[in-house]
């Protein structure tokens, strides 16, 4: 007689199957892009070689050319976030299933479609329309952020306490008055926190828009790497990392305070 | 009898005024910096409508030539998610305050994670394209780095919220640190991990579509050449394909995520 605690079931569980499937997918993908083991061994050496060219960073170039480009990226992100915030605030209210069940479905569909677009693809369209430069970038960022801000905003609206809304309507207020006095005061802090979070994301997004000529620091990095000016590229990376870290820290701190109060 | 009205909470004019002034100044400065002008936008709308006419209808005859690059794009996203997902595990565990091996390791890992997170996906793509040459291998490596940044940040936070009774029990019966993590901590975080990995996959699919703009393989490379030749019917087709694919993958992934939650 065997002890039931010792007897083990030899059964292939879901996790094992998942591992097999994932391993097969990985193998197929590696073969498909011709990432052979011989190539893999070369990678660390190649990366180390290029990294060694990065030192020392050309900070003179950094202060004179890179910093203005980073400032431009920040400006693009700010204007883009502002456009998105203004557009998404009414959409977030109308997208709340609890307040407007019928319109909400349409708004959610629009926001899902807008979210699927990478900013850079929108920028490809805006660059020929408004010309090369940061304005096209700001529009692209703005339009592409609307989707996410609408989604997050309407989720905030759906989670509110309905007491105040009913109170306004019970005392004879209209739907619009209920929005103004019962909904907006409840949701605004969290929505502003989402705006700030999106601003952090948009700084990264606007940093890459330069690749298609829509202003910002991405174009500088692309050019320095293309012409193998690695010391200048190092300055771009260094300053970008520093600025983004600082802005993340400030914005994160403000968000924490808004949510807490 | 007059109704009893609760007193209005006092308004902190200094804080509100300061915040509004900051937002206003920042907006004016940014709008000037990027040359934001509604009138210019209005004037340019005519050229924009011409562009839209040129880009419609999409050139469906081009579709067969998109199949191979499209599959390559998915391969890049799969490799990036799996490799990055595996590498993210130690990064996340060491960055969780309750599981890390020591304050120094925690501090170093935390900063490493934050610095990884500052660089956008296309910056990684540019760097790897420079280091290992143009092509999908650079894209796969770039997305691996990006995935580490995404998953480790999110997961380290949910690991900090686990129930510490189990890891402590493993330690109490003489388990090593590795056994504590393996049997006490990771099983509790598994659900979150899968959900974040799927989320990273969604982001990677979207990112892999545009990696080609900087020469890192996938459908974006075709996009870049067609854009440079002003073949906007084809650009529209590519963007439509990308949009549909991203939406489908997102639907599948988010339905799995919802079932896990």
DSSP assignments along A218-254, one per residue: HHHHHHHHHTT-HHHHHHHHHHHHHHHHHHHHHHHHH
Check residue A12 and give its pLDDT. Answer: 64
Same domain, A207 and A84: yes
Average pLDDT, consecutive stretches of 10 residues, N- to C-terminus, chain A (261 residues) = 56 78 91 83 86 83 87 92 92 84 85 81 82 85 89 88 87 85 87 91 89 84 88 90 92 86 70
Percent pLDDT > 90 in chain B is 30
Residue A4 within any structural domain of the chain: no
A215 to B34: CB separation less than 8 angstroms, yes or no: yes
Instruction: Give A226: exposed, middle or buried? Use CB within 10 Å, 0-12, 13-18, 19+.
Output: middle
A78 to B26: CB separation less than 8 angstroms, yes or no: yes
| B109–chain A Cβ distance below 8 A for any pair | no
- In Å, how far are A46, A234, B122, B134 from A229, measured between CA atoms? 17, 9, 18, 17
Q: Which residues of chain B does A30 touch, with a Cβ-Cβ cutoff of 8 Å? A: 79
Q: What is the mean pLDDT of residues B81-86?
A: 95
A128 to B137: CB separation less than 8 angstroms, yes or no: no
Compare B197 and A176 and report the one with higher pLDDT: B197
Six-digit token string for B222: 């075709």
Residue A5 within any structural domain of the chain: no
Smallest CA-to-CA distance from A212 within B128, B212, B245 is with: B212
Check residue B107 and give its pLDDT. Answer: 93
H or E stretch at A193: helix A184-209
- The beta-carbon neighbor of A33 closest among B41, B213, B217 is B217
Same domain, A137 and A151: yes
Q: Which residues of chain B does A138 touch, with a Cβ-Cβ cutoff of 8 Å? A: 34, 36
Residue A1 within any structural domain of the chain: no
Rg (CA), chain A: 25
A241 to B115: CB separation less than 8 angstroms, yes or no: yes
**CB within 8 Å of chain A, chain B residues 55-84:** 55, 71-72, 74-76, 78-79, 82-83
Same domain, A38 and A69: no
Six-digit token string for A25: 């997918």
Given a contact cutoff of 8 angstroms between Cβ atoms, the answer to whether B77 and B203 are in contact is no
Same domain, A27 and A77: no
pLDDT in tens, B5-38: 777 777 788 888 888 999 999 888 888 888 777 7
Q: Which residue of A has its CA nearest to B230?
A: A128
Check residue A5 and give its pLDDT. Answer: 57
Check residue A243 and give its pLDDT. Answer: 92
Question: To 10 degrees, what angle do helices B186-210 and B67-95 make?
Answer: 140
Q: For residue B51, what pLDDT band results from cuts at 50, 70 and 90?
A: confident
Same domain, A66 and A32: no
Helices (H), A33-118: 37-53, 59-61, 67-94, 101-116
What is the spatial distance between Cα B81 and Cα B78, in angstroms, rounded to a whole number? 5
Query: pTM, whole model, 2 decimals?
Result: 0.84
- In Å, how far are A167, A168, A180, B197 from A174, measured between CA atoms? 11, 8, 10, 45
Scored b (16 or more CB within 10 A) or e, A29-57 reads: bbebbebeeeeeeebeeebeebeeebeeb
State the nearest Cα–Cα gap between B125 and chain A, in angstroms: 10
Residue A65 within any structural domain of the chain: yes
Given a contact cutoff of 8 angstroms between Cβ atoms, the answer to whether A252 and A109 are in contact is no
State the nearest Cα–Cα gap between B154 and chain A, in angstroms: 14
Determine the structural domain holding residue A213 and report its residue range: 54-260
Domain count, chain A: 2
Check residue A54 and give its pLDDT. Answer: 83
Q: Which residue of A has its CA nearest to B127?
A: A225
Q: DSSP assignment of B218-261, as one string?
A: SHHHHHHHHHHTT-HHHHHHHHHHHHHHHHHHHHHHHHHHHHH-
Same domain, A21 and A74: no
- The beta-carbon neighbor of B214 closest among A34, A75, A222 is A222
Check residue A123 and give its pLDDT. Answer: 86
Same domain, A127 and A237: yes
Residue A59 belongs to a domain with what CATH number?
1.10.3720.10
pLDDT in tens, B177-192: 999 999 999 988 888 8
- The beta-carbon neighbor of A43 closest among B141, B207, B227 is B141
- The beta-carbon neighbor of A32 closest among B33, B72, B227 is B72
Same domain, A139 and A21: no
- Select B61-260's CATH number: 1.10.3720.10, 1.20.150.20, 1.20.1250.20, 1.10.540.10: 1.10.3720.10
Residue A67 within any structural domain of the chain: yes
Q: Which residues of chain B does A129 touch, with a Cβ-Cβ cutoff of 8 Å? A: 44-45, 47-48, 51
Residue A98 within any structural domain of the chain: yes
Task: Establish, for the pair of chains A and B, how many residue pairs have beta carbons separated by less than 8 Å.
Answer: 169
Same domain, A25 and A58: no
Check residue A60 and give its pLDDT. Answer: 84
Same domain, A81 and A41: no
Smallest CA-to-CA distance from B220 within B117, B143, B146 is with: B143
A129 to B44: CB separation less than 8 angstroms, yes or no: yes
Same domain, A119 and A187: yes
- The beta-carbon neighbor of B34 closest among A22, A76, A205 is A76
Same domain, A75 and A36: no
């Amino acid at each position: 007689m065997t002890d039931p605690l010792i007897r083990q079931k030899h059964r292939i569980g879901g996790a094992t199957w998942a591992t097999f499937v994932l391993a097969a997918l990985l193998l197929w993908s590696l073969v498909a892009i011709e990432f052979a083991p011989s190539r893999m061994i070369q990678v660390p050496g190649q990366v180390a070689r290029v990294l060694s060219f990065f030192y020392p960073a050309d900070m003179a170039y950094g202060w004179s050319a890179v910093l203005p480009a980073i400032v431009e990226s920040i400006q693009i992100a700010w204007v883009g976030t502002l456009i998105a915030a203004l557009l998404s605030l009414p959409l977030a209210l109308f997208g709340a299933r609890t307040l407007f069940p019928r319109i909400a479905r349409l708004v959610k569909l629009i926001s899902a479609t807008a979210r699927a677009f990478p900013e850079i693809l929108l920028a490809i369209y805006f660059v020929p329309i408004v010309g090369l430069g940061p304005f096209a970038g700001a529009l692209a960022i703005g339009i592409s952020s609307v989707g996410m801000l609408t989604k997050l905003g309407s989720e905030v609206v759906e989670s509110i306490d309905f007491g105040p809304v009913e109170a306004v309507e019970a005392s004879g207020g209209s739907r619009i008055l209920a929005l103004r006095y019962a909904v907006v005061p409840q949701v605004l802090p969290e929505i502003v926190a989402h705006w700030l979070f999106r601003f952090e994301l948009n700084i990264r997004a606007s940093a890459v828009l330069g690749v298609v000529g829509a202003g910002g620091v991405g174009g500088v990095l692309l050019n320095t790497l293309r012409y193998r000016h690695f010391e200048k590229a190092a300055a771009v990376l260094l300053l970008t990392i520093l600025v983004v870290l600082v802005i993340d820290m400030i914005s994160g701190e403000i968000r924490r305070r808004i949510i807490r109060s | 009898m007059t109704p009893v009205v609760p007193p209005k909470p006092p308004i902190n004019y200094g804080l509100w005024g300061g915040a509004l002034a900051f937002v206003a100044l920042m907006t004016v400065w940014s709008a000037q910096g990027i040359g934001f002008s509604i009138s210019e936008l209005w004037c340019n709308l005519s050229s924009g409508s011409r562009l839209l006419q040129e880009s419609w209808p999409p050139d469906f005859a081009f579709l067969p030539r998109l199949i191979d690059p499209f599959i390559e794009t998915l391969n890049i996203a799969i490799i990036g998610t799996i490799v990055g997902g595996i590498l993210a595990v130690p990064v996340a565990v060491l960055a969780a305050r309750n599981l890390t091996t020591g304050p120094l390791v925690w501090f170093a890992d935390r900063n490493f994670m934050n610095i990884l997170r500052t660089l956008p996906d296309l910056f990684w793509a540019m760097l790897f394209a420079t280091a290992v040459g143009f092509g999908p291998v650079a894209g796969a490596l770039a997305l691996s780095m990006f995935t580490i940044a995404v998953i480790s940040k999110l997961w380290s936070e949910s690991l900090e919220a686990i129930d510490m009774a189990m890891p402590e029990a493993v330690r109490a019966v003489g388990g090593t640190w590795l056994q504590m993590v393996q049997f006490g901590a990771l099983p509790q975080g598994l659900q979150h991990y899968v959900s974040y990995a799927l989320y990273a996959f969604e982001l990677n699919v979207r990112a892999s579509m545009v990696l080609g703009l900087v020469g890192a393989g996938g459908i974006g490379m075709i996009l870049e050449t067609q854009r440079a030749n002003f073949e906007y019917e084809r650009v529209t087709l590519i963007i439509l394909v990308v949009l549909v694919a991203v939406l489908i993958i997102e639907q599948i992934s988010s339905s799995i995520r919802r079932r896990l939650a």
